[in-house]
Structure 1
Amino acid sequence: MDQQLNVFVTVAELGNFSRAAEKLHMTQPAVSQYIQSFEGAMGIKLLERNNKFVCLTQAGEIVYHHAKEILSLHSKMHYLIDDLTNKTSGPLSIGASYTFGEYVLPHVIAKMQGEYPMITPTIMIGNTKEIANLVLGHQLDVGIIEGEFHDKNLSIEPFAEDSLYLVASPKHRLVQKNGEINLSELEDEMWIVRENGSGTREVTEKMFRLCGFTPKRKLEFGSTQLIKESVEAGLGISLLSYWAVRKECSIGTLKVIKIEQLPMKRKFSIVLRSPFQTKALSVFLELLKEHDVISDLLRKL
């Protein structure tokens, strides 16, 4: 059954029997036979075929989703057994929200690789909701998310704090203005925000509620880097993590707009699904939770 699942998932992802056979180092007739046997065992057609493409039926979509989880759990089971006798090694799939994933995680991975070179990490960057759902579906071993997220099927543990500041171009009128800034002035500005599902967007909306206004103009971008470039270009203002803007603020391409309500604070949390941990995952979690390690990383950023 494991091989049938593997063949089915490969065909579904590549959309072609020939390419699937090549990847699996099998003949095309052998791949076709596996699919036919699998469909027979399931009692329903899973793939629509023609000369040009292969696509999933409605039943195939359901089977594909669960097949990915089953294969992931099967691999994890073998790594856990191997860990009982072998040195810390093997794959580790990590998901992280944009801010932590792009500005802090690379330094954690570098430290881990220096001490445990036989661990082979893969990294997925997405917003908080995306990462949590991938952990929930056993597509990731561990996730690091921003802000508040709740799911009874996940273990969510805060481990680090972040501060978010309002930033603008050095030439922006609010930066050059002397004296206190009225909140009504912020309401009239063009705000550049992250997409729904992002931890940064969640904190931004919380700030709007705290300050008692809703921006009259707002642009939604799916990348922190794109937002920084847009703010530097004078397109608008944005609430961003200190970790994300520290370098730009130090060289003067971004400036902090100071208001009484800021900075906003939020937590970064570790997200897990399985109660069992490989040695590779345990090592990674220890690095994240060591206060001195995180402090060192923050000083380097």
Structure 2
Amino acid sequence: MDQHLLVFVTVADRQNFSRAAEELHMTQPAVSQYIHALERTIGTKLLERSNKYVRLNKAGEIVYHHAREILGLYTRMQSLVDDLMNTPSGHLTIGASYTYGEYVLPHVIARLRQYYPMITPTITIHNSTVIAELVAKRQLDVGIVEGEYVDEKMCVEPFADDRMYLIASPEHRLAGQSEVSIDELMKETWIVREEGSGTREAAEKMFRQLQFTPHKRMEFGSTQVIKESVEAGLGISLLSYWAIRKERKLGTLCTLKVTGTPVTRDFSLVTKSEEFHTKALDIFMDLIRTHVPEGAHT
């Protein structure tokens, strides 16, 4: 591995020479020497330095982007060579959308660690669009995304479906109705996720299918905040079964009966096309495909 690139990426990530030196188990002068040597090789300064911060300049952003990809390729190469020893091991970078990542993935990781303790996973949770972009940039080995995702340069494999329900507070005026009309839904305040979220995509698709547009919306970047807001009576929302199953059991959230619901969507595995898979990645993907969460068919 090119130590110069590793040191540079660590300094850029930590935005501090001292913290980078500590993480790399090096002295601060040694870190500075590596950075100066890399800048001499590239032929220009890569970092803007002051007493308060260390930041990438324009040239640094270019080098950083490619350095991350080079280091990722090196790690993947090393993992593939290690696989020849028939020992599933190594680092595995996994990304997941909020719903799957927060409510299902921890149980899959627990199984992975139980049966394959030599595999070390690192988890990134973000909305589906960001996760797919990180996989495309080789900053993640695999991503789990929600909804409809198509990219010719990516391998997209649907592996499970998800049911999404309209939810409200048990004290909401629509709670307990045998059937909620579209006119009543239009009058409500809808609490939705941000653009790029698979949950937001599912809500917009439902609005089109039911042929109405909500008059009032509130947008939040967290499923947990949406649940708390709905419980507080601020509005209604569309969320995954996995996100609300505990609240339904506790009786703090209820589902509304509306024609055309629950809404179904896919969870998909996303990887780079035509790339070698490490044994660790293949094992993880098999665990994902075979994992049946508790209550999946209730």
Give the TM-score taking structure 2 as reference length.
0.94
For 1:25, the equivalent position in structure 2 comes to 25
Q: Are residues 188 and 5 of structure 1, via their aligned partners in 2, closer, same or farther at CA, if it must alter by over 3 Å?
A: same
- Does the alignment pair 1:141 with 2:141? yes
SS in 2 for 1:174: coil
Check conservation: 1:128, 1:198, Cα contact below 8 A: yes
State how far apart, in whole Å, the 2-side matches of 1:152 and 1:34 are: 39
State how far apart, in whole Å, the 2-side matches of 1:299 and 1:207 are: 22
Q: Are residues 213 and 299 of structure 1, via their aligned partners in 2, closer, same or farther at CA, if it must alter by over 3 Å?
A: closer
Check conservation: 1:167, 1:254, Cα contact below 8 A: yes
- Cα deviation for residue 41 of structure 1 reads 1.4
State how far apart, in whole Å, the 1-side matches of 2:20 and 2:119 are: 28
For 2:169, the equivalent position in structure 1 comes to 169
Aligned length: 297
State how far apart, in whole Å, the 1-side matches of 2:114 and 2:238 are: 34
Q: Are residues 114 and 25 of structure 1, via their aligned partners in 2, closer, same or farther at CA, if it must alter by over 3 Å?
A: closer
For 1:7, the equivalent position in structure 2 comes to 7
Q: 1:140-194: CA deviations, max 9, x gaps?
A: 11110000122222111101001111010111101144x5322111111010101
Q: Are residues 228 and 51 of structure 1, via their aligned partners in 2, closer, same or farther at CA, if it must alter by over 3 Å?
A: closer
Check conservation: 1:161, 1:268, Cα contact below 8 A: yes
Q: Give the percent of matched residue pairs that are identical in Structure 1 and Structure 2.
A: 61
SS in 2 for 1:124: strand
- Does the alignment pair 1:49 with 2:49? yes
SS in 1 for 2:94: strand
For 1:185, the equivalent position in structure 2 comes to 184
Q: Are residues 7 and 164 of structure 1, via their aligned partners in 2, closer, same or farther at CA, if it must alter by over 3 Å?
A: same
State how far apart, in whole Å, the 1-side matches of 2:94 and 2:3 are: 26
Letter in 1 for 2:100: F
Comparing 236-245 with 147-156, which one deviates more in the overlay?
147-156
State how far apart, in whole Å, the 1-side matches of 2:132 and 2:294 are: 24
- Cα deviation for residue 221 of structure 1 reads 0.9
- Does the alignment pair 1:289 with 2:279? no
Letter in 2 for 1:12: A
For 2:93, the equivalent position in structure 1 comes to 93
For 1:242, the equivalent position in structure 2 comes to 241
State how far apart, in whole Å, the 1-side matches of 2:27 and 2:248 are: 58
Check conservation: 1:164, 1:240, Cα contact below 8 A: yes
SS in 2 for 1:173: coil
Check conservation: 1:188, 1:215, Cα contact below 8 A: yes
Check conservation: 2:7, 2:35, Cα contact below 8 A: yes
RMSD of aligned alpha carbons = 1.8
Check conservation: 2:192, 2:237, Cα contact below 8 A: yes
Check conservation: 2:176, 2:256, Cα contact below 8 A: no
For 1:230, the equivalent position in structure 2 comes to 229
Letter in 1 for 2:44: I
- Does the alignment pair 1:107 with 2:101? no
SS in 1 for 2:72: helix
Unaligned runs of 5+ in 1: none
State how far apart, in whole Å, the 1-side matches of 2:171 and 2:29 are: 66
- Cα deviation for residue 300 of structure 1 reads 9.7
State how far apart, in whole Å, the 2-side matches of 1:297 and 1:272 are: 26
Give the TM-score taking structure 1 as reference length.
0.93
State how far apart, in whole Å, the 1-side matches of 2:80 and 2:271 are: 16
